Amino acid sequence: MLLFAFAACSAAVPTVSAQESGWWIGGRVGYWHDKVEGVTSSGFALAPEFGHDFNAKWSLGGVLGFDYRKTGNTSDEVFVIEPYARYKYFSRDRFTLFVDGGFGVAMGDGSGWKVGLTPGLAFRISDRFSLLTSFGFLGYKNDYYNGGGDGFGFDFRSSDLRFGFFYSF
């Protein structure tokens, strides 16, 4: 379904040349509400992102995020800092496949750190705007707020699917 939406957008938007270097801003926002066995849970996430494309293959970026979750009468607030290097290994027309390598530190009611790789896909809507999605994680987590525990491995669950947008200038 997502690829169909991307294909429809690419047919409707005229082709423009890719920007090979420059600054960009963007991020992700999310909200979730559910009820399991009579317990109500809700939360939201705000994750502004910024970075710089050095050339057609390499970028440096970072996320400064905030997550709030409330389950029953308990709430958690977590601040996240996640710098990364992005390698764009395949580009064709409007699509770019990339992998982000970096680390994350969580502070607040949940804490911990992680280091690893996250694959992703970017779709350029215009010369300035792009949609991005990333999925999964391969690396090491030490009591990271989102999953807890110490361990190494890969995790490709649908709950790890994230969408974002970027504006290049």
DSSP state of 135: -
Burial class of residue 62 (count of CB atoms within 10 Å of its CB; 0-12, 13-18, 19+) = middle
State the pLDDT at residue 147. 57
User: What are residue 4's phi and psi, to 5 degrees?
Assistant: -60, -45
Yes or no: say if 84 and 98 are a contact pair by the CB < 8 Å rule: no
**pLDDT tens series, the chain, 169 aa:** 333 333 333 333 333 334 456 999 998 888 888 888 888 889 988 999 999 999 999 999 999 999 898 888 888 899 999 999 999 999 999 999 999 999 999 998 878 898 999 999 999 999 899 999 988 889 998 877 655 667 788 777 666 678 888 899 8
Quick check: helix, strand or coil at residue 20?
coil
Yes or no: say if 67 and 80 are a contact pair by the CB < 8 Å rule: yes
Give the separation between CA 26 and CA 49, rounded to whole angstroms. 5
State the pLDDT at residue 8. 35
State the pLDDT at residue 109. 84
The answer for residues whose C-beta is within 8 angstroms of residue 10's C-beta and 6 or more apart is 93, 94, 123
State the pLDDT at residue 118. 92
101 has which bridge partners?
A: 85, 117
- Looking at 2.40.160.20, 1.10.8.60, 1.20.58.740, 2.30.30.110, the CATH number of the domain 22-168 comes to 2.40.160.20
Half-sphere exposure of 20 (CA within 13 A, CB side): 3
Closest by CA to 97, choosing from 28, 27, 13, 3, is: 3
Strands (DSSP E) contained in the chain are 22-36, 39-53, 58-71, 74-92, 95-108, 112-124, 129-134, 137-142, 150-155, 162-168
State the pLDDT at residue 156. 72
Q: Is-above-0.85 flag for pTM? A: no
